[in-house]
Chain A
């Protein structure tokens, strides 16, 4: 099944990015396709490559990058939400791309399910 995912909160502040990541991983392990993860609201902060978590903590951003590299998951950051919050091409982590809100609507149309994680 094709599943689209939406993430609406930033990393570390709220559990939603962790929940979304673990859901994506389990879906892929179960043989489903995560066709796109769309980052909106403060969720765009998942895409900054400037993050430096302590050594003994998970690296939320790097985890998303790895998911994109290993499973071809399309990580899309909303441009309008990103500009508001200072996420631009220069600080965008590997595996993410910046695009419009239309990508969310398109994902909802093309996927069999859209699962939203947020606060």
Chain B
């Protein structure tokens, strides 16, 4: 079967905080690989996933790699659709200004509508 030219809409849904588990870091590795497949890729951050984008992460004291600068490098991979849920920020006392990269802030209803347009959703 010839799959060349198939472009699907991917949404990587990040709902977990970084460092406490490996999902955020290894999830980001999938996102980077997906860039090589010329697909329509977006990332959504909701619930504790919004903490992945917090400015000022310093995991030196827990002897773990700081992978947060990678979110800023996504643009270089032509991954520019970063969606953050407003309700998730508000529930955590965060604002868009606390984030380390430019994002599009969406309400939960808008996020639900966005999800309804996707072909593939992988959540980490």
Contact = CB atoms under 8 A, between A and B. Distances in A.
A1 interface: no
A109 B29 contact: no
Interface stretch (A16-24, A52-60, A68-76, A100-108): A100-108
Interface of B is mostly: mixed
Interface residues of A, number: 17
Interface residues on chain B, size class = 10 to 19
A81 B120 CA distance: 22
A104 B37 CA distance: 11
B72 interface: no
B33 A41 contact: no
A27 interface: no
Given A101-B33, A105-B37, A41 B26 contact: yes
A40 interface: yes
A44 B67 CA distance: 22
B10 A108 contact: yes
A110 B7 CA distance: 10
A28 interface: no
B22 A105 contact: no
Contacts of A108: 8, 10, 120, 122
6 contacts: A40-B30, A105-B36, A109-B120, A110-B6, A114-B122, A116-B123
